[in-house]
A and B are shown apart, each in its own frame.
Chain A
Amino acid sequence: MSFWEYVGNRHQQLLTDAYQHASAVFQCMVLATLIGVLLGVVTYRSDWAGNLATTATSTILTVPSLAMIGLLIPVVGLGVPPTVIALTLYGLLPIVRNSIVGLRGVDPSLVDAAKGIGMSRVMRLARVELPLAWPPILTGIRVSTQMLMGIAAIAAYASGPGLGNEIFRGLASLGSKNALNQVLSGTLGIIVLALLFDAAYVLLGRLTIPRGIRV
């Protein structure tokens, strides 16, 4: 069976896997973005707290993904929970780091001006600092998403959802006639998804970055 015949026969299964893969990554990105930006907002004004947040999240990233999921299984069980926890944790670093860099990069004279015309702390953050820091934060989110696309494949190891299942099935039956097709379709599927997401981010950037600071 050629690769295309395989894809034709299994498209139902592949689409479901792809959908679940995308949905898992998307949901984990929403979580990681909320937590990551929050961490950035809380820590960027202090040197040591900001560094601590960056170091902590980058330490998480050095744990091999297979080990991370393996370690999570005894704690939270199989399936969706270890996948979500692992992906969210991995997604944090680029977002936290870029949030801190972005917020610290806002021109201090603008913050001074915002204060001077009577903006409260929350208003300054919401109306001035976060909008100005948004482009680097969005870049962080983009990098995170690309990374999670790949890592999400490992989730299949903990019987999680997604295209990883194809890959693992193929790897488990190496030598059988469909093994290569399975690995290939899973991998290519992930690449296509990653490209689609990236295109979506470009669009999101167009829509959300104010015209006055777009480069």
Chain B
Amino acid sequence: MSESHGAAIELENLTKRYPGSASPAVDNVNMEIKAGEIVIFVGPSGCGKSTTLKMINRLIEPSGGRIRIGGEDVTDIDPVKLRRKVGYAIQASGLFPHMTVAQNIALVPKMIGWPKGRIKDRVEEMLDLVGLDPGEFHHRYPRQLSGGQQQRVGVARALAADPPVLLMDEPFGAVDPITRDHLQDELIRLQHELHKTIVFVTHDFDEAIKLGDRIAVLRERSHIAQFDTPEAILTNPADDFVSGFVGAGAALKRLNLTRVRDVEITDYPTVSVDDPLQAIFNRIRSSGTNEILLLDKRGRPYKWLRRGDLMRAKGSLARAGTLVTDTVTRDATLRDALEAVLTDNTGRVAVTGRRGAYIGVVDMETLMNSVHELLEADRLEALEAQHELEEARAAQTHAEQEGPGGEAKA
């Protein structure tokens, strides 16, 4: 079945004013979210990020401004119809405890009148998509699931009717850190398949960096402090508020955004356990390095052999050298690679490919050089983006100063 891809969301002068409070809870938000991207709203509690999100499916009715989804103005259409076209996943899953997993997932397709057979297939498909075995979980009740499983079903329910847009309100806020990590990875994988437009609210900046194509850092009343890629926000925070929110260790966090495949993987002298001893001796002598990498029968990194190790072990490969404790794949983040380099006393880590076979190594120097290059490139990009943001702000300030005489404000 073909999935519908994302739709762009435009927020124009979106404002929420609660009766009896002097200042608006959300003040004049303008934002364009491109089709198929994940945008994260991040900010301190009470900054209005959740309110802004809930205005997109009009769980909270805006007091002013327009919302357009896929070019269609949805500010005044029937909210019930709107919500059936917009997926919604919330903290602690929001599953209905009196319905089975299958019934929960089938809710929206049923409401929009899909035929029974199609709904049944769709439920199986969705369970499969979020990594739960349909046969096993179909008839379970939410309370028979773990927190992480409930959250998966929550996402499956939100996506069941194949909405172009998915709103997620701190969906992983109530699960333990390890499960949260898994769920985040799952979401990234899902998004690779589905290309929905996802708006995701969190107060956890690390989560924002990990998931977001772009991050909107919001300050009080949902004012946008910075709206940019994670890289740009990390390397060039727009102001003190944003850098305060990014927190310490921006350079370290930046390592999470780059994969080992993006940096130079260097060759390294290797020998195989199948090689004759004499060949290994010769290789060590001729390699010009202090140690070489010994591969096992299947070409997987096995041991680091130093000069003299073999002599001390009296020529026994089984006793010589130190075991390779940690390897990384091409998909590992640079942070993982750095971690491995730091814990391994050789100052480098072996990179492995399919079935753990050796590909090359990444050493400390490569890591440092690539991080420097990355930071430099980010800085340039961010400067450009900041320029644009300032221009946009200047235009808005200008419009505001023009007052009601200028463009009509809501």
Residue numbers of A with Cβ under 8 A of B are 109-110, 112-120, 123, 127-128, 131-132, 210-213
> A109-B91, A109-B92, A211-B141 given as contacts; is B107 within 8 A of A117 (CB)?
yes
The verdict on B317 contacting chain A, using a C-beta distance below 8 Å, is: no
Nearest neighbor of B107 in chain A, beta-carbon distance = A117
B111 CB contact (under 8 Å) in A109, A113, A119: A119
The verdict on B108 contacting chain A, using a C-beta distance below 8 Å, is: yes
Contact of B94 with A118 in the complex, beta carbons under 8 Å: no
A26 → chain B, closest Cβ, in Å? Answer: 27
Chain A residues with CB under 8 Å of B157's CB are 117
- Nearest 10 Cβ contacts at the A-B interface: A113-B94, A212-B141, A118-B84, A118-B83, A116-B88, A210-B98, A212-B98, A213-B98, A131-B98, A212-B97
Chain B residues with CB under 8 Å of A211's CB are 141
Chain A residues with CB under 8 Å of B96's CB are 110, 113-114, 127-128, 132
Residue numbers of B with Cβ under 8 A of A are 57, 59, 80-85, 88, 90-92, 94-100, 107-108, 111, 141-143, 157-158, 167
Nearest neighbor of B94 in chain A, beta-carbon distance = A113
Chain B residues with CB under 8 Å of A110's CB are 94, 96-97
> A109-B92, A112-B59 given as contacts; is B97 within 8 A of A118 (CB)?
no
The docked-state distance in angstroms from the alpha carbon of A109 to that of B141 is 18
B104 → chain A, closest Cβ, in Å? Answer: 10
B57 CB contact (under 8 Å) in A116, A132, A213: A116
The docked-state distance in angstroms from the alpha carbon of A134 to that of B95 is 18
Chain B residues with CB under 8 Å of A132's CB are 96-98
Contact of A115 with B83 in the complex, beta carbons under 8 Å: yes
Chain A residues with CB under 8 Å of B143's CB are 212
The docked-state distance in angstroms from the alpha carbon of A119 to that of B110 is 11
A213 → chain B, closest Cβ, in Å? Answer: 5
Contact of A116 with B99 in the complex, beta carbons under 8 Å: no
Chain B residues with CB under 8 Å of A210's CB are 98-99
Given contacts A110-B94, A116-B90, 20 further A-B contacts (CB under 8 A): A109-B90, A109-B91, A113-B90, A113-B95, A113-B96, A116-B59, A116-B167, A117-B107, A117-B108, A117-B158, A118-B81, A118-B83, A118-B108, A119-B107, A127-B96, A132-B97, A132-B98, A212-B98, A212-B143, A213-B98
> A109-B91, A212-B141 given as contacts; is B99 within 8 A of A117 (CB)?
no
Which of A114, A211, A212 lies at the interface centre, i.e. has the most chain B CB atoms within 10 A of its CB? A212
The docked-state distance in angstroms from the alpha carbon of A112 to that of B167 is 13
A120 CB contact (under 8 Å) in B80, B92, B95, B98: B80
Contact of A213 with B94 in the complex, beta carbons under 8 Å: no
The docked-state distance in angstroms from the alpha carbon of A211 to that of B144 is 11
Contact of B83 with A117 in the complex, beta carbons under 8 Å: yes
A158 → chain B, closest Cβ, in Å? Answer: 43
Contact of A212 with B108 in the complex, beta carbons under 8 Å: no
Nearest neighbor of B157 in chain A, beta-carbon distance = A117
Chain B residues with CB under 8 Å of A123's CB are 111
